[in-house]
Structure 1
Amino acid sequence: MQVSLQALKAFESAARHGSFKAAAHELSLTPTAISHHVQNLESRLNVSLFHRKVRKIELTEAGKKLALAATSGFRTIAMAIDEIKFSGNNILISTTTALASMRLIPAIEEYMRLHPGVLIDVSTGESFDNYPNTLPIRFGSTESVKTSDILKHEKFDAFGTPSYLDFSSKADRFKIISTRWKNRKLPPAPVHAWLEMNGIEQSKVEYVTYDQELIGIQEALLGKALVFCSTTLTAPLITAGIFHSFNSKPVDTEFCFYCPDKEKYDTRTHEAFLLWLEKLL
């Protein structure tokens, strides 16, 4: 059975306030209009919803049952609208420490300037838990990620300061730092494939790994080693002239940055942010 939503809203307000006049004030209608809506609803349901007395109304048993359901239903709708409105104007991002530090956080101010009214919060860590209302940006293997979820395929290369690059070109041995992933399901960083592709003898390299990409980048910034890592992470340092590549060719990898179940993040704000992020990376 179809009933008028406006009539149901008028009834719910009158039932909650115990007054047609108060309901009229809440809904910006006249008491006569509220009464008319309620009468139409009663006619449609073929039941009395109120006992009408002098200067007051009381719910019938049927009215009490409908009022309870209507109030609960409208409250649920209001909560859903608030939640959608919040998620539509707020982006809660969960991602790796390295991506947040090297790429996202430095660029977020510019994004918010271009999108006034949008608030962005970034939480870091390598946990793969996808919390509700959070946009997860992960680092993983293309072998286990849906193609439609991939934001960026990764290449790896060696980078360092000009002074260390000069040293490594003359030294018998030089140091390369890379990452030992906390996620043991990921393949190792393809340093050996990179060495072979660039014709570098493994005997010339002291190879060290840490479980955080930022450690290797920091050591390279201090001029202590080269860092073998994602070209995505080091792009701003290359642009700024702080890092140079090892005069080598980057190696393709099976790594990627991705958003799990990307299609479910379908608010306009999320879609605009993901499009911006793909261009950024």
Structure 2
Amino acid sequence: MIGRLGVEKPIFTRVESIATAGGLVVPKRARGQDVLVSPFYFSDSLDALASQAAAGGAKGVQHILELLKKAQGWPLSMILSRGEINGSKLSPSEIQILNELVADGVLRPPSLHNSKTNTDEHFVFTPRPGSKSLDGSGREVYERTMAIVAAVRKGQLMPSRYSIRSPVALLSKLRSCKKIGASTESAQQYMNLVTLRVGSLRAASKAGWYEFVLIETPENIQALDDAIMLFQQGELASLDMSDDARIALQRDESYIQSILASSKLRTTMRPALDEQAKSEMEQMFLDLK
């Protein structure tokens, strides 16, 4: 970075210290090298990511993320079998990096289970589209967003019979009509959305045919709008982080009272922690789901 920016080392060191103190970057030591990781984008498995970057995979990680941003929710099995993401080729080393990023939890793909073949299909997303981390309620909405995109990708790229031609048109119709027409594939395709309380399956007149009905809550409407935006733009403009969530990520003396039960985060002052305790607390905050 120093060479790319052309700055003097003391200036860079000062900026780095300010960014570290402000929680914008987290310094990591991996494979004998110093690596800076941004928790505002990579919120999980920072040690594994730092190890990949230190091993010379930084450019490979960047290329994979650029391709995934344009093809959110692409099936992992299709990427591995074809060696490409939406027509863009990956090198053997990039495929290996992708596998390791998924295995290490840096990229956390949701999955759909196929009861007929008893297999799980994974759909890969960038860590968290956008440039900001999420608070508790935002994480839950984004989980639903990923599930919606994965369900539609299944119907688009891996249909049992009839494929979805326009994901945006389908989701826009769901947004306006609050349901998707009955089909024989709905039970397999939308089961995760039922589990996440995004919608329900309603039996049609024909045996084995179901229509998907949206549960109208603000969270589900937001998740649906975000899913449409992921298909259109590859990233979300609506992701934001509350001031309390920013404090929780930046200050070791803060803790989260109830991140899943409430979007309102409360912070409590704690005695000063030693370096090991600080590291453990920092990782706990970053690994919250």
Q: TM-score normalised by the shorter chain: which range applies? A: under 0.3
Work out which of the two has the higher radius of gyration on C-alpha atoms and give 1 or 2.
Answer: 1
